[in-house]
């Protein structure tokens, strides 16, 4: 056996010191692409690619774009500092599944009055003035609420360290901040995912997204021109326009009487037709069984409960909080409809392997209980009404920028499908005692639902702090 470290991430300032201008991840992609068709050693293939960079680029273009083996582009990886973007734009950026992000946290960092003023308002001075006035009010209230919460916790929790106390204050004060708030992140992404991100940015109706698209193209494309081709909006979006079908117009109408009849459920599970416990147990024994899948699940479902219990005890025997459940748990899905704030969504969306769809709601904002303790609820409600009024009065051509003044406390509904392995990962992290209160509450409600629908599968489903 032999192992060679072919490359690794280093700071760009070190790369800039290299005299060789062939310092590009394209050679790794080109060399690895030839592994499947050459008898030469991988390290020899890399040497050849380095010696003939143009040939390597031509090889990449042929294999990735002409032959369609796009996974070759995944061998090229970039580390990108993204500075001074809005929280709104992070939703577009962080949709990439095969990428890693670390973002400036509003839970731990105090935010000053620093926000995006959209370029779309350049020719609309009155709207721009009102926008700035509202944003300034929101940041002023954030600072006031933060200071009051900090004083409250000094009295109530004198045992807390200064940093922990201030983090608690920031955690709830941030619900009044707008989506226009500037942030920064570090992103690690491969060329294939980056190309998808560039197309997504190009399709956005935000000028801020187009600016980021251009910056990436200006700075990354020259490094590896053979790996990025389909980076512009080609007109395809896969969306439905209900305005074109008269029979569907009722789907867009607000029906307030429906919500008044049904109390709000924070987490609601969709119907599950097959017993999850039996599906997963059947998957666990499938590889040892001589039967096909259909016969296998029938046999498992007919086993006595006592026998199933013995099998489940084996599944969880010796499990620790850091262990992953078996891959067989991926065979069963749970679908939830969840009511949450934009603030909670910023955390929830990080579970990118799930399938998620979100839509904004026009209900009252979600206000942390701590804000009631400092007597700022009426001030928050007033600001929320003001921002909603501004958003609703925007002309149609500028309606998309209204999202900059959605607040962290603005409500939305998320439809999410998770397989049971993802449910375990989510709950381990988010039902833990250190998790933020809103997402922790959601995770615990999901646990209650899962234990009803799949009691055996969910028998070890809990946060890390509750794991025994």
Closest by Cα among 109, 97, 82, 78 to 350: 97
Model confidence over 133-174: pLDDT tens digits? 999 999 999 999 999 999 999 999 999 899 999 999 999 999
Q: What is the pLDDT of residue 363?
A: 84
- Would you call 178 helix, strand, or coil by DSSP? strand
- In the numeric block, the tokens 């990439």 are attached to 96
Percent of the chain clearing pLDDT 90 (strictly above): 67
Model confidence over 332-386: pLDDT tens digits? 999 999 999 999 999 999 999 999 999 988 789 999 999 999 999 999 999 999 9
Residues composing the chain? 468
- Asked whether 146 and 139 are in contact (CB, 8 A), the reply is no
User: To which H or E segment does residue 267 belong?
Assistant: strand 267-269
Q: What is the pLDDT of residue 84?
A: 96
pTM value? 0.89
β-pairing, 267-269 vs 411-419, is: unpaired
- 334: which DSSP letter? E
- 333: which DSSP letter? E
In this model, does residue 451 exceed pLDDT 90? yes
Give the residue, 54 or 369, on which the prediction is more confident: 369
In this model, does residue 261 exceed pLDDT 60? no
Q: What is the pLDDT of residue 252?
A: 52
CA distance 71 to 425: 26
271 — pLDDT class (breaks 50, 70, 90): low
- In the numeric block, the tokens 């226009």 are attached to 180
């Amino acid at each position: 056996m032999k192992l060679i470290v072919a490359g690794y991430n280093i700071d760009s300032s070190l790369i800039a010191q290299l005299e060789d201008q062939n310092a590009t991840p394209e050679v790794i992609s080109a060399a690895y692409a030839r592994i499947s068709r050459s008898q030469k050693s991988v390290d020899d293939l890399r040497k050849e690619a380095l010696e003939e960079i143009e040939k390597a680029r031509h090889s990449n273009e042929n294999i990735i774009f002409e032959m369609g083996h796009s996974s070759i582009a995944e061998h090229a990886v970039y580390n990108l500092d993204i500075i001074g973007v809005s929280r709104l734009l992070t939703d577009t950026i962080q949709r990439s599944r095969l990428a890693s992000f670390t973002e400036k946290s509003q839970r731990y960092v105090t935010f000053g009055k620093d926000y995006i003023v959209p370029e779309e308002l350049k020719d609309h001075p009155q709207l721009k003035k009102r926008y700035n006035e509202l944003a300034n009010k929101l940041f002023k209230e954030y600072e006031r609420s933060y200071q009051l919460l900090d004083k409250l916790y000094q009295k109530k929790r004198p045992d807390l360290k200064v940093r922990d106390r201030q983090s608690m204050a920031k955690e709830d004060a941030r619900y009044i901040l707008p989506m226009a708030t500037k942030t920064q992140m570090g992103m690690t992404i491969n060329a294939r995912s980056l190309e998808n991100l560039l197309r997504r940015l190009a399709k956005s109706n935000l000028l801020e997204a187009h600016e980021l698209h251009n910056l990436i193209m200006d700075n990354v494309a020259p490094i590896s021109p053979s790996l990025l081709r389909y980076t512009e909006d080609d007109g395809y979006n896969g969306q439905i326009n209900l305005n074109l079908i008269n029979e569907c117009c009722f789907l867009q109408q607000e029906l307030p009487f429906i919500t008044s009849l049904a109390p709000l459920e924070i987490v609601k599970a969709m119907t599950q037709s097959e017993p999850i416990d039996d599906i997963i147990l059947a998957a666990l024994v499938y590889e040892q069984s001589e039967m096909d899948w259909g016969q296998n699940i029938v046999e498992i479902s007919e086993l006595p409960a006592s026998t199933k219990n013995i099998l489940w005890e084996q599944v969880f025997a010796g499990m620790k909080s850091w262990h992953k459940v078996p891959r067989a748990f991926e065979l069963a899905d749970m679908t939830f409809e969840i009511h949450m704030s934009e603030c909670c969504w910023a955390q929830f969306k990080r579970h990118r392997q799930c399938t998620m769809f979100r839509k904004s709601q026009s209900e009252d904002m979600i206000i942390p209980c701590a804000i009631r303790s400092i007597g700022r609820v009426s001030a928050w409600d007033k600001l929320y009404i003001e921002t909603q009024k501004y958003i609703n009065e925007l002309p149609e051509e500028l309606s998309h920028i209204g999202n900059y003044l959605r607040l962290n406390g603005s409500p939305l509904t998320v439809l999410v499908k998770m397989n049971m392995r993802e449910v375990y990962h989510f709950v381990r992290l988010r039902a833990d005692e250190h998790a933020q209160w809103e997402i922790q509450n959601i995770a615990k409600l999901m646990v209650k639902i899962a234990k009803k629908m799949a009691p055996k599968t969910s028998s070890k489903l809990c946060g890390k702090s509750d794991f025994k």
